[in-house]
Amino acid sequence: MKSICVFCGSNDGARATYTEAAIELGAAIAGRDLTLVYGGAHVGLMGAVADAALRAGGEVVGVMPLALVEKEIAHSGLTKLHAVGSMHERKAMMADLSDGFVALPGGAGTLEEVFEVWTWGQLGHHDKPVGFLNVEAYFDGLLAFLDHQKEERFMRPEHRDMLVVETESESLLDRFAAYDPPRVAKWISSDER
């Protein structure tokens, strides 16, 4: 594993612990000599995770649509900033540059990004770990809903189990390093019809 992509809010959120977790994660990624890949902004949790990785001597690669770069929210101190044409290009490049994906607290964009790479993993397009850093139980309601999907047989148990969920950065990265992707031969078995 050489790089970790972090999806997170461009806002700070309501609790200081969200920013603290972003700082801890950025430092932990750099401390393992991993490159941080993220959305490229200098604001919110995005800025906090990038600044922490940079302070710890890590490499940080941002990927941002040109329209957002032109609005001056791009981080000016990154190792590299890729300016791309669209959000679709951003997500594709972030996925290509990364060996694992972590969601910190964030809004609809954060969820959309992490769900897309998780779906790609379910479909066998990659075998990279996907996880949530569950700060202050932020994702508890979402995780309960995913369990409900599994119970209602709209999601295979193997696919639900693909998600790595931890409350501490180091534990999450340890599990990423040991990640063994499930092998699911069929999306839906005949007895589930």
The total of other beta-carbon atoms located within 10 Å of residue 146's CB is 18
**Residue 190 falls inside a structural domain:** no
166-177: average pLDDT: 98
Domain that holds residue 51: 3-177
Is the pLDDT assigned to residue 193 strictly greater than 50?
A: no
Q: Give the per-residue pLDDT at 70.
A: 86
The total of other beta-carbon atoms located within 10 Å of residue 136's CB is 14
**Residue 122 falls inside a structural domain:** yes
**Residue 170 falls inside a structural domain:** yes
Instruction: Give the total number of structural domains in the chain.
Output: 1
Q: Give the per-residue pLDDT at 191.
A: 56
Give yes or no for a contact between 4 and 173, defined as CB atoms under 8 angstroms apart.
Answer: yes
Is the pLDDT assigned to residue 188 strictly greater than 80?
A: no
Residues 6+ apart with CB under 8 A from 57: 30
- What is the Cα gyration radius of the chain? 16
Helix (H) or strand (E) holding 103: strand 101-103
> β-pairing, 130-133 with 3-7?
unpaired
Helix (H, G, I), strand (E, B) or coil at 95: helix
Q: What is the pLDDT of residues 61-102, one digit of tens each?
A: 999 999 999 887 999 999 999 999 999 999 999 999 999 999
**Residue 54: CATH number of its domain:** 3.40.50.450
Q: Give the per-residue pLDDT at 34.
A: 98
**Residue 183 falls inside a structural domain:** no
Q: How far apart are CA 159 and CA 5, in angstroms?
A: 20
Is the pLDDT assigned to residue 132 strictly greater than 80?
A: yes
**Residue 159 falls inside a structural domain:** yes
161-176: average pLDDT: 97
Residues 6+ apart with CB under 8 A from 48: 12, 19, 22, 23, 26
Q: What is the pLDDT of residues 72-81, one digit of tens each?
A: 799 999 999 9
